[in-house]
Every structure is written in structure tokens, then in C-alpha cells.
Structure 1
Amino acid sequence: MLLELTIENFAIIPKLHLSFHQGMTALTGETGAGKSIIIDAMGLLAGSRGSSDYIRQGADKCLLEGLFELPQQNGFQQVMDELGIDCSEDVLIVQRDMSISGKSVCRVNGRTVTLANLRRIGMYLVDIQGQNEHQELLQADKHLSLMDSFGSQDFQHALANYQTHYHEFRQLEKQVRKIQSNEQSYVQRMDMLRFQQEEIEQAKLQPDEEELLVEERDKLSNFQKIVDALAKAYGVLSSETGNSLDGVSIALNEMQGIAHLDNDYEQINENIQNAYYLLQDAASDISRQMDRLELDEGRLEEVVLRLEIIRQLKRKYGDSIPTILAYYDKISEELSAATMTEGQLEELEAQLAEKQQYVWQLAEVLHVKRQEIAQQLEQEILQELSELYMENTQFDIHFETGKTLRDTGFDQVEFYLSTNPGEPLKPLVKVASGGELSRILLALKTIFSKTQEMTSIVFDEVDTGVSGRVAQAIAEKIAKIADNSQVLCITHLPQVAAVADYQYFISKAVKDGRTQTHVVQLTNEERVDEVARMLAGAEITELTLEHARELLRIAGKVAHR
């Protein structure tokens, strides 16, 4: 339950700190005093979407903080563990800051959470019933989820199981439809990849082939130049007359004769000797190269053609042979997977048909369980409405079986109502008045509170449009709900205020030229005055005060305290 609420710079509230208790608390005051603002703050702490419009004029940001007793509902601890939130204490501190720039920061026990995760946590903290819930009753497409919420744990498991298989079915259907719809372009791509694969295969490329071919082409293209250069070099070194080797040999003989006379001469002799042997080796190498030389014009044509093939492949598939070979591996892998996909299409279609049949069977199970839920819910609602002076009401949950599957099954339901004997049942949205909607909503909430473990329930003017004995019945019904849950109730009905365990009076006043909201907890005597005001309005007489005292005395007898 909600233990404390702190509000700063929110709407017309500069600063406010409230403590709440178990049981029923009534929030009363003049229209526009700020009662709904407090409920809005609680809604934001539970994950409602915020706006910078909430920030008090002149402030940079607003702060909301709620101290809650740690919820004990099933699933709550799992959410906390998933989000990594420490729950070692018995309380939960929820904070929300909203700045004028639109930035919103949410924290739970000091850990920052997203708004979506705050909403997940808020589901376990507070249930706000107000005009939005009235609107849900008026929307036929909301009736199915309202009815489902009354289902047993067994039904909830069946629904969750159905939704799991339904989403698997839709994913499989999407996969099959994608293959089918893209079949033409898919086939065209596969044909193109096969052509590319075959073209690269036929080329039989080697990783370092291009460099070797370029070297060979350059040699073949410069054959005559190479022949002339080798012949001239050989002639200079080894001609029969006046060759360089003979000259070097003469120089070597001369230096050998004087080498022993001086170290420098010895060094010159060694250098000439080394040069002589090197030139001999060079002459031999040139001779061998000349013997090997043979112009093969056909080979040159082959090399040029091969290099052109490589150039064409590089232009299409990459800037080098390794890149082309890598692309070949990639498309080969895709073609291999594609062959499997083509073979799997028929298998996937068979799986889809089987999955669809199974999901329909699960939907049939849901349908049967829902009919049982509807029958029980109808009886309980009629009982609750009878206690709210709608004993002549007929209530029916009308089923319509759809022809398509949705994530809730194939059922469509709508609440039908007849409030007058002899009148036919008609859709609730067409026949219910505001007061009747309030009582139907309260009847649903009464039943709901028996099966759910919500710690705090907020009623935001759900007593609109009723008075007299109906107002008293509504008051008693809300008080009964408070036996099991903390109830906070904004009300204009004195009967409802009188049955509350606690009563807060909300007012507004102008201070330093600014409107401010004030909240005070009323004493017993102050409650008499406030209930009297709610009964009579501006002019309070002794008779009105006595009537207020009487209401409070009666409340002490029937509020089940």
C-alpha cells in the first residue's frame, strides 16, 4: 500500500507531503481544489506518461516521490530481480523527476528505470479507477480483456500458452509469405549468383598468379631489347679480341707481382681478383641466359589474354584475386543456403498449416473456458448490482465468434444490459447512464478485489451521477473493498466520505499572488463540518450538522470496522 506521498512544484502544488493508512481514505474539497492533481501524481509514479505541462509555473522541474509497502503479489519479485532492484527492505521508494525540457527520470529504490519498466512495477502498486475506466466500459473492444481479468490462474496459463503459440504461428507465416512474395526476385538472384560462381570457377584463379603473369608479359614484350643487351654485355666481357676480362687479367698479373711490397698494393690486388671472378661469373650467367632465350609469340598472346580475363573479373568482383576468391566463397555459401531454403519451402508450408490447426485448437480451449468465466461473472455482477439497487437489471456477456485468429483468440465479447423489466438486452454502451456505469464499474471492481492482490485502489469520482440510497450503497460497497485493500477515494458524496476511516480536506488559496493547494487530515469534529458542507453546500445549519453526525454514526455501524 501507499505509505507516503511527496509532491514538489507539480501543477498548483508547490510542496506537499502526505501520509496514508490502511483502510479507506476519503479526499474531499471544492471542485478545482486539486484532488485530481494528487491522483495524477500517483498515476505518474505508477508509470503514466507525463508532460512538462505538469510543472508548476516558474519552476525548472517537478519532483514526485512515493513510499510503498513492498508488494507481495505473484510475479513482483521476478520483475525486481530482472531489473536488478534491491528489495532487501520492506518498502519501495519510487521517484520521478520531470524537467521543463521534457526529460523524465524514474528511479525505484535508487535505481534508474525506463518508463516502460516503471509501468510494469506500477501495476503491482496502485490501481486507479476513474473516468478512463468509465470509457473502457463504453468501448466494446475492451470488454474481452475486462472479462479475462476475472479468469482463474488456470485460464491465465492457457491464455499465455495460446499467445506463445500464436506469435510463433505469425512468425512462421511471415517467413513463408516473405519467401513466397519474393520468389521471382529470389529466383533471379540465385540465377545471377550461379552465373557469377561459374564464371569465377572457370577462371581457376591462383592467389599470386597476376604478379607472375605481369612479370612474364614484360619479359616477352621486351624480348629484342633483352637479346641486344645480353649480347653486347657478353661481347664486352668475353669477345675474342679486346674483351674486358683479358684486360682485368693483365692488371691482376701486374698487381700480383708487387702485392708483397705494400699493404695497399695487396688490397688492390684482392679487389681486382674479386672483380675478375665476379666478371667471369657474370659472363657465364649471360651466356646461359642467351642460350635459354627463345621468342614464343603464342605464349605472349596467352599471357595477355589471361591478364585481360583477370582484369574483367576484378572489375566485376573485386580489386584483387584474393578479393575475388573471397567473394566466390561468400556467394557459394549463399547458394548453398538457398538450395536448403528452396527445399524447405514446402516443408515450411506444411509446418504452417499444422501450426495454424494447433493454434485454432488452443483458441477453442480458450473459448470454452471463457464461457465458464462469463457465466460465473454474470452471476456475481448481478449479485453486486442487486446490492447497489439495480436488482431488476439483466446482464449478459454476448459472444461472437470471429473467423480470424488474434492474439486473444477468436472470441469477441460485448456486455449487454437491461435495467428495466420487460426491456430487451442491448449493448451496454447504448443503454447505461452515468450513474449506472459507476455502479457497474464498482461491481466489477468489488469482484476484482476478491481475486486480485492489489494493495492500493484509487476511486476517482466513481460515484458520479448517483444520490440517496444508491449513494449509501456505493459508500458501503467501497468500504467493503477497503477491508482487503487500501482505498483512496475522491468523492463529492457525503455518504461515501462518512464511511471512510480517514478524511483529507483539499483546498486552494492565493498566496503571494499564486494559487496553491493545501491538504489537511480532518479530526472527527472537522469531519462533521466537512460532511455537513457536502450535504448543504455553502449554508450550514444546526440541522445539517446533526444530519452529518448521524451519517458518521451510521457509518460506524455498517462500515465493517
Structure 2
Amino acid sequence: MLRELNIKNFALVEDMNISFEPGLNVILGETGSGKSNIIDSLSILLGDRAQKDKIRQGTNRAYISAAFDIDDNEEVIKKLKERSIEVCDEPLIISKEISLNSSSVTRINNIISPASFVKELAEHLIDIYGQFENINILSKSMQRNFIDSFANYKHQEDLLEFKNSYENYLKLQRDLENFSKSPEEIGRDLDFLKFQIDEINNSNVLSINEEELEAKLTLIENSQELKENASKILNLLDYDDESILTNLGRTISFSEKIESRDENFLELRERLNRSYIEIEDIKYEISSYFESLDFDEAEYKDLDNKRSILFEMKRKYGNSIHDIKSYLEDALQKVNQIENYEKIIEDKKNKLNNIEMDLVKSAQIISKTRKDIANKLKEQIETQLQELEMKDSKFEVDFKEIPLSRDGIDEITFYISFNINEPLKELSTVASGGEISRFMLAVKSIEANVDEIPTLIFDEIDSGISGNAGNIVGKKLKNLSNSHQLLCISHLPQIISKGDNLFLVYKEVDNGKMTSKIKKLTYEEKIQSLAKIIEGDNYSNHTYLTAKKMIDDNLRGAK
């Protein structure tokens, strides 16, 4: 149940706090007073897109919050626990902040939560019925969706699986269309692919080690400079009178003389000997390195040619040898497909046909479930319409088989007759505004019992209704409020008088700005407001007494 709604800086509302109670809560007020702001704020809070132009002029952000009693709402409690949101004895608080300069932020019990999750919760908290649903229910697609909404969980799962399979079916259809080509196109593609395959294979590019190739070419192209520096090292090591090895040899000779007189010098002399051996070994390795820098022209041309081939292949088929290899594998696969074109086409068609047959079977199961639902719904709607004093009404759901689509094979049309001896006709062609409103109230009454949603909101359910029809709708709403909390925006005295709680929305100029406000009416204010609605501001004593009787009759009925 909706316990409290708080709205700040939203449209005409500066700061509004409303405490709702069980039963029938009726919101009244003059046109333009801001009644719709209450429904709009709730819709946005519970998942509708937050429009920044709803932020009150002169402010940067709007804030909406609602408190719900969820003690007996098992579905909501279950979903909260799945999200690890603590469930306690306190009301569930959902809030949303809409900012001019940043994205909207939604919180559940002060924990930031995705709006999509709030929308999931809302399906088990509140059902908001607006006037636009009168138009929607006239659409055949919405009528089909309406039938589906009464189905069990298994049917919903079947529908989802069917839609996913149908999307896959469409994808395979597109793949088959894209794969299908004329013999001339196939021949051209095959010739070109074989040319590319031969070019890659004949180039031997896949056998090239790119790192080794680049290293060898770098060595050859810098060999002259390398030899010059190696030669200088060899000269410094051994090939002149003041070379390192010559001087080191002299050093060893002196050390031997010292060591012959002082055995403590033995270790230093041995280290000098080892250094001589190490440097002499280095000299021989550098000498070998120097000789290895002799390259013939043929070797260089061969390596340079490989580099040119590699460059050309990379330009055509990829940025690396790995890419070229992948291109070759893909080309070979395409050639295989083309050479086995007929078989592949046949396999694809067979697969498509099998999926189509499975889809048809699933669609038939879905259709049967819909027909079962429609049969039950026919009785329920006719019963509800009788309770709304439309005793001669007849309702039928017509099924017409159509080509397979993502919604199945059913075109569903609602047929209705509101009067005795009147033939059944499409709902979209025969219903007046008042009749549609009563039909939708019948529908919502059935939905409320099926879904067990605790709070129902009716935004001007009285559209097109007056006189006795209004009284009948009021009684229906009153009865419905015995099992559900109802919030109704209404202009109709017959409905307003039956409200357990009446709230008046009005406008005031506050600090130079027009502001929408709300107050809960006392017993006397209820009578006065109802009298104004019946006759106007200058109502007579007779109208006052009429309004009082209507209010009192409701109170006596409540007792």
C-alpha cells in the first residue's frame, strides 16, 4: 500500500506531502490545479523517463519519494532480497532526484538502484490507469498483449522463448539471402579467392621469420661500420706495441718477479693471469665476429627480396604474418563453401525449415493457451459489466490466424455489444467514451484480482460518464477499494462522494510564483467541495444538503 508521497520542485509543486490511507482516496480540484502532477511524479518515480522540463522553474533539481507498506507483499520482498536490499519492519522508501546538470538518481531504502529494477518492483506495488489506456485497448496488438497478461508463468516463458527463436529465425533468413548469389557472381568470387590463395602460397611469406629477417638485414646493411669498429677493438687488444695484451703480458712478468720474492702477491699474480686469458679469449671471439661480417651480394639480394615480398603481402592481406595466415584460412574456407555451395544452401534451407516448423508448433501451443484465457476472460468481463449495470453486454474474443510473426500466429480482436439485440461489433468501432471507461474499469477489476497489486490508481476513470452511470462506476470503485487501496482523480460528484478520503488540489501564489498545493478535507470541507462541484461557488442550501446526503450515505455504507 502507498503510505506517503513527497514531491519537491516538480512542475507547479514546490513542496507537497500526502499521506494516503486504505480504501478509496479521491483527488479533486479545478482543471489546471496540478492534480496530474501527482500521477506524473509517481509514474516517473516508478520507472517512467524523467523529463528535465518537469523541474520547477528557478530550481536545479526535483525530488520525489514514496513510502510503501510491503509487509504482505511477498513478490516485492523476494525481489529486494535477491538484490541484497535489507527488508525490515519500516516502510519501503523509493526516491528519485532529477537534476538539470546530471543524470537522475534512483534510490531504494537510500541505496542507489537502477530505474529498471524499480520498474520491476512497481509491477507489484501500483497499477496506474490513465486515459491513454482507453485508446490503447482499441489496438489489436494491445488486445493480444492484454490476453497474454492474464497467462501463467509458463505461458510468459513460452512467449519469451518463442520471440527469441523467431529473432534467430529472421537472422538465419538474412544469412541465407546474403549467401545466395548468381552462378556468375559465384564464379567471379571463386576465381578471385583462388588467385589470392595462390599468391600467398607462392610467395612463401608464411615461412618467413620476420624478426630474424629484419635482424639479418640490419646486420648486413651496417656490416661495414661494424667491421671498422671491431677492427679498432682488435688493434687495441693485440695488434700494436701498446695493446692491452702486450701491456698485460708485461704486467704479469713484473708480478712474477714480485711473487718470487713475496708469496703474499701470489693471488694478485694469478688474477692477472686469468685476466690475460679472458681478454685473449675475447680477442679471438671478436676476430670470429669480424670474419662473420663478410656477406656476398647474392645473400643480401635474397633477403631484401623476401622483405619486399613480405611488405607487399602485408599491404594486401594484413599487418602481420599472423593476419596474412588468418586471411588465407578464411579464403580457403570461403572456397570450400563455394565449391560446396549447393550442399550448404540445402543445409541452410533445411535448418530454416526445421526452425520454422518448431516455431509453428510453439505458436500453436501459445494460441491454444490464449484461446483458453479468452474463454475465461469472456465470462469474467461479462460479469464485471453486469455489475456496472451494463446487463445486456456481450463480449467475445475473435481469433484470426495470420502468417507467423514474432507474436505468434494470432490476430486478436475484441468484439462487444453493450445493448440487447445489438450485434457484436469490434470494440474500436462501437464504444463511446463512457462505455470504454466502464469497460476498462471491468478489465482493471479483473487484473487487480489476478495480479493482487495492492494499490490501483485511476486517472479520470469518469471520462465520458455522467448521471446514473457515474453512480454505478462510483459503487464499483467503492467495492474494489474494500480489497485494494484506490487513488482516483475525478470530477464526478457520484465518485467523489464515495471517497473515504478526499484531497483537494489547489493553486496559490507564493513569493510571486504559482504553486500547487494539496490538503485533506474534513467532513465539512467534503460537503462544501462537493456542493461547489455540483453547482459552482455560489451553491444553494438545497445543493449543500444534497452534497451532505451523498457524503452521509457513503459514511453509513462504510459502517
Q: Deviations over 1:129-152 (max 9, x none)?
A: 12121121233321111222223x
Q: Deviations over 1:495-537 (max 9, x none)?
A: 2122222111222222333222222212223222222222222
Q: Does the aligned pair in 2 maintain the 1:4–1:18 contact within 8 Å?
A: yes
Whole-Å separation in 1 of the counterparts to 2:549 and 2:195: 91
Q: Cα–Cα, structure 1 residues 173 and 419, in superposed 2: closer, same or farther, change >3 Å? A: closer
Q: Does the aligned pair in 1 maintain the 2:205–2:313 contact within 8 Å?
A: no
Q: Does the aligned pair in 2 maintain the 1:172–1:352 contact within 8 Å?
A: yes
2:539 alignment partner in structure 1 = 540
| Deviation of 1:104 (Å) | 1.9
Q: Deviations over 1:410-469 (max 9, x none)?
A: 211122223333433222222211111110111111111111121211111111222222
Matched, 1:198 2:194: no
Alignment of 1:21-420 (within 5 A): 21-70=21-70, 75-77=75-77, 79-81=79-81, 83-101=83-101, 103-151=103-151, 153=152, 156-171=153-168, 173-175=170-172, 177-178=174-175, 180-182=177-179, 191=194, 194-195=197-198, 197-199=200-202, 201=204, 204-206=207-209, 208-209=212-213, 211-212=215-216, 300-301=297-298, 304-317=301-314, 324-331=320-327, 334=330, 345=344, 347-406=347-406, 408-420=407-419
| Deviation of 1:165 (Å) | 3.8
Q: Does the aligned pair in 1 maintain the 2:11–2:55 contact within 8 Å?
A: yes
Q: Deviations over 1:25-63 (max 9, x none)?
A: 111222222222111111111112222222222222211
Residue ranges of structure 1 left out of the alignment (5+ in a row): 238-243, 264-269
The amino acid of 1:449's aligned partner reads: A
1:267 alignment partner in structure 2 = none
Q: Which moved more, 1:333-342 or 1:530-539?
A: 333-342
Q: How many equivalent residue pairs?
A: 513
- SS at structure 2 position matched to 1:124: coil
Q: Deviations over 1:264-296 (max 9, x none)?
A: xxxxxx9xxx9xx99xx99xx9xx99xx99x99
The amino acid of 1:468's aligned partner reads: G
Whole-Å separation in 1 of the counterparts to 2:9 and 2:191: 64
| Deviation of 1:192 (Å) | 6.6
| Deviation of 1:306 (Å) | 4.7
Q: Does the aligned pair in 2 maintain the 1:455–1:485 contact within 8 Å?
A: yes
Whole-Å separation in 1 of the counterparts to 2:128 and 2:159: 29
Q: Cα–Cα, structure 1 residues 423 and 100, in superposed 2: closer, same or farther, change >3 Å? A: same
Q: Does the aligned pair in 2 maintain the 1:472–1:495 contact within 8 Å?
A: yes
The amino acid of 1:370's aligned partner reads: R
Matched, 1:500 2:496: no
Q: Deviations over 1:228-266 (max 9, x none)?
A: x9xxx9xxx9xxxxxx9xxxx9xx9xxx9xx999x9xxx
Q: Cα–Cα, structure 1 residues 558 and 370, in superposed 2: closer, same or farther, change >3 Å? A: farther
The amino acid of 1:397's aligned partner reads: V
Whole-Å separation in 1 of the counterparts to 2:297 and 2:439: 98
2:430 alignment partner in structure 1 = 431
- SS at structure 1 position matched to 2:497: helix
Whole-Å separation in 1 of the counterparts to 2:419 and 2:5: 44
The amino acid of 1:158's aligned partner reads: H
Q: Cα–Cα, structure 1 residues 517 and 214, in superposed 2: closer, same or farther, change >3 Å? A: closer
The amino acid of 1:415's aligned partner reads: F
Q: Does the aligned pair in 1 maintain the 2:144–2:412 contact within 8 Å?
A: yes
Q: Does the aligned pair in 2 maintain the 1:392–1:419 contact within 8 Å?
A: yes
Whole-Å separation in 2 of the counterparts to 1:548 and 1:176: 67
Q: Deviations over 1:82-129 (max 9, x none)?
A: 555333454221111112347422212212233333323322222111
Q: Does the aligned pair in 1 maintain the 2:165–2:359 contact within 8 Å?
A: no
Structural RMSD (CA): 4.4
Normalising by structure 1, we get a TM-score of 0.78
Q: Does the aligned pair in 2 maintain the 1:12–1:517 contact within 8 Å?
A: yes
Q: Deviations over 1:310-351 (max 9, x none)?
A: 3212332289x9x85433554466568768988895555433
Q: Which moved more, 1:39-48 or 1:434-443?
A: 39-48
Whole-Å separation in 2 of the counterparts to 1:81 and 1:201: 63
The amino acid of 2:455's aligned partner reads: S
Whole-Å separation in 1 of the counterparts to 2:336 and 2:499: 70
Q: Cα–Cα, structure 1 residues 260 and 141, in superposed 2: closer, same or farther, change >3 Å? A: closer
Whole-Å separation in 2 of the counterparts to 1:157 and 1:426: 32
| Deviation of 1:476 (Å) | 1.0
Q: Cα–Cα, structure 1 residues 536 and 340, in superposed 2: closer, same or farther, change >3 Å? A: farther
Whole-Å separation in 1 of the counterparts to 2:121 and 2:60: 27
Q: Cα–Cα, structure 1 residues 494 and 216, in superposed 2: closer, same or farther, change >3 Å? A: closer
| Deviation of 1:218 (Å) | 9.1
Normalising by structure 2, we get a TM-score of 0.78
The amino acid of 1:85's aligned partner reads: I
| Deviation of 1:10 (Å) | 1.6
Q: Deviations over 1:388-409 (max 9, x none)?
A: 2222223222222111221x21
Whole-Å separation in 1 of the counterparts to 2:519 and 2:17: 10
2:526 alignment partner in structure 1 = 527
- SS at structure 2 position matched to 1:499: coil
Whole-Å separation in 1 of the counterparts to 2:101 and 2:219: 69
Greater C-alpha radius of gyration: 1
The amino acid of 2:547's aligned partner reads: A
Q: Cα–Cα, structure 1 residues 186 and 52, in superposed 2: closer, same or farther, change >3 Å? A: farther
Whole-Å separation in 2 of the counterparts to 1:12 and 1:188: 73
Residue ranges of structure 2 left out of the alignment (5+ in a row): 181-185, 261-268
Q: Percent of counterpart pairs with the same letter?
A: 25
- SS at structure 1 position matched to 2:98: strand
| Deviation of 1:15 (Å) | 0.9
- SS at structure 1 position matched to 2:526: helix
